Amino acid sequence: MTTHRCEACFIVPSRLLMKLGDHRSALISERIRGHRIAAGAMLFAGVPAGEKRRTVYDVGHLTRLPGRLVRGEGAPPVADATVNAAYDSAGTTYDFYLEVLKRNSIDGRGLRLDSSVHYSRDYNNAFWNGRQMVYGDGDGRLFTGFAGALDVVAHELTHGVTQYTVPGGLVYEDQSGALNESISDVFGSIVKQWKLGQDVKQADWLIGAGIMAKGVGKALRSMKDPGNKNVTWDGDDQPRDMSGYVEGGDVHTNSGIPNHAFFLAATNLGGRSWEKAAWIWYRALPLLKPTATFEDAAAATIAACDVLKLGDTAKEAVEAAWKAVKVI
């Protein structure tokens, strides 16, 4: 008889502890279970699909991650709205990937979704650090916060999806880096549209709408109209096609081109972006290489149409999109 060696098995699941009102024990259990090293995650084959495992930490305006555990999976909302927003949006993004794309969390095997909020002071950013999401609060002059925006949360989680799905990941510079950024914007927008039940005509195609401070702008980027400062903000330097490509440019600049390609493909296909366009872009990910170019992405998305057996109409819609942005 083999003995199952479990690094972090508990008699009473933390969820039951929360129900019984023993929040302190539940949080301690989650903390021990939660740290990947302590939990010995490599011992597990994976977590069943549908079982979310979210934890939210408060960094207390310092920078040492992950911070103090403040909410675990199944725990009721807390007083801090930022914590609750990070928790809820991670859940919505998980639900999207599972229900629409049949993917069990970031790694396809039920990876924990760890979020740290209140990172540093006046921090105008959010990021995926290879293991977890991290959210600043903004300085109030440029940005007003990040965890409260669903597309931001889905954007960051999708960096993890890219990490686990593109063989070797997408190198974060030049065109592969711009693709890395674009894929996160694409699925950030799709998750928002899915949550709101919007079709491609109803969607605003804005990234970071609502996180800019008053008077600064309406959004950080636009997939529908990259570089149009009237719909985004004064610092929007994104090109919409290859005629504006910046050699050696920032990955957030040149991502405007593949972003616009996705917008065009999705609107060419019509309906709701998650029904076909999301599948095409998702199915293209394993076909990319770490130094993929925009042309490689075009080829991969066109090939994905065949893999998904979507027919010539879909293929032509995707081809037309990449031609319109002058990649092919």
Residues 136-175 that bind another protein (CB under 8 A): 142-143, 146, 152, 155-156, 159, 162-163, 169, 171-173
Is position 32 an interface residue for another protein (rule: CB under 8 A)? Answer: no
Figure out which of the listed residues 66, 148, 208, 226 binds another protein, where binding follows CB under 8 A. Answer: 208
Is position 107 an interface residue for another protein (rule: CB under 8 A)? Answer: no
Look at the block and give the residue holding tokens 């977590």: 47
CB of 252 to another protein, least distance (A): 3
How would you class 3 by CB atoms within 10 Å of its CB: exposed for 0-12, middle for 13-18, buried for 19 or more? exposed
Q: Which is nearer to another protein, 67 or 72 (CB)?
A: 67
Query: Using an 8 Å Cβ cutoff, are 139 and 145 in contact?
Result: no
Distance (Å, rounded) from C-alpha 286 to C-alpha 136?
31
Maximum separation of any 2 CA atoms in the chain, in Å: 69
Active-site positions?
A: 156, 252
Helix, strand or coil for residue 231?
A: coil
Distance (Å, rounded) from C-alpha 321 to C-alpha 156?
25
What is the contact mask toward another protein in residues 253 to 292, using x (rule: CB under 8 A)? x------------------------------------x--
Q: Which is nearer to another protein, 97 or 279 (CB)?
A: 97
Peptide bond into 66 cis (omega under 30): yes
Query: Using an 8 Å Cβ cutoff, are 318 and 325 in contact?
Result: no
Is position 127 an interface residue for another protein (rule: CB under 8 A)? Answer: yes
CB of 175 to another protein, least distance (A): 14
Stretch that binds another protein, among 28-36, 43-51, 94-102, 122-130 (CB under 8 A): 122-130
Strand partners, 139: none
Distance (Å, rounded) from C-alpha 295 to C-alpha 280?
16
What is the contact mask toward another protein in residues 64 to 103, using x (rule: CB under 8 A)? ----------------------------------------
Distance (Å, rounded) from C-alpha 16 to C-alpha 87?
19
Chain residues in the site for another protein (CB under 8 A): 123-130, 142-143, 146, 152, 155-156, 159, 162-163, 169, 171-173, 177, 180-181, 184, 208, 220, 233, 235, 250-253, 290
